[in-house]
Amino acid sequence: MVRAFLFLFLAHLALVIAALADCLGGEHAPRKLTRAWWVLIILFLPVAGGILWFAVGRARPPRPAGPGKSGNARGPRHPNGPIAPDDDPDFLRDIDRRLRDDNKED
């Protein structure tokens, strides 16, 4: 019986810590109430506070724009240029030029 209570206490403690960490460390503002109210709810409503935070209060990350909205959902993920040097045509041309120059000198 003691083991069951210990397990339930540790599960409750883990839920409270996870909810508080998520509430206080989030980038986006919570839904419905301010962070202070959510902290009080999480602390004073033993199990329900953590469950309410994850179900109702947690801010949803912004959704990517769909095809009918501003932006192209099927376009490139990084439209500002190549990601790696070997994807950059200018870099590859420069390497090719250097190799030809080195071969001419030999």
pTM, to two decimals: 0.54
Question: 36 in a domain, yes or no?
Answer: yes
* pLDDT of 6: 94
Question: 78 in a domain, yes or no?
Answer: no
* pLDDT of 32: 81
Question: 9 in a domain, yes or no?
Answer: yes
**Buried residues in 47-76 as b, exposed as e (16+ CB within 10 A):** eebbebbeeebbeeeeeeeeeeeeeeeeee
Question: 84 in a domain, yes or no?
Answer: no
Question: 77 in a domain, yes or no?
Answer: no
Helix 2-25 to helix 35-44 angle, to the nearest 10 degrees?
Answer: 180
Domain count, the chain: 1
Q: What is the pLDDT of residues 32-68, one digit of tens each?
A: 888 889 889 989 987 898 888 888 888 776 666 655 5
Q: Give the range of the structural domain holding residue 31, as residue numbers without chain letter.
A: 2-61
Question: 22 in a domain, yes or no?
Answer: yes
